[in-house]
Amino acid sequence: ESGYFVPPNWNFVDIITPDDLVREARGWVEQGVTILGGCCGLGPEHIVALRDAIPSTKPAA
């Protein structure tokens, strides 16, 4: 959680760095997560870091 709402806008503080997000995401993948992405407060640099660091796999048929 890195944001708070002050009408009419969301304000984001303490946003996780792309490197820290990758570290966290690796743990999620080890636990079985198959879809990674981002939401409010994360930017394209976070998604690029995930794409570059975590191999893409296809689900078993």
Q: Considering the chain, what percentage of its residues have pLDDT values greater than 90?
A: 49
Question: In the structure encoding, which two tokens stand for residue 23, read together?
Answer: 């570290």
Average pLDDT, the chain: 88
Which H or E element spans position 11? strand 9-12
pLDDT computed for residue 39 by the predictor: 84
Alpha-carbon span 32 to 26, nearest angstrom: 10
Query: Residue 29 — very low, low, confident or very high, per pLDDT cuts 50/70/90?
Result: very high
Reply yes or no on whether the pLDDT at 18 is more than 90. Answer: yes
Query: Residue 33 — very low, low, confident or very high, per pLDDT cuts 50/70/90?
Result: very high
10 — phi, psi (to 5°)?
-90, 145
pTM: 0.77
In sequence order, the 6+-apart residues with CB closer than 8 A to the CB of 26 are 53, 54
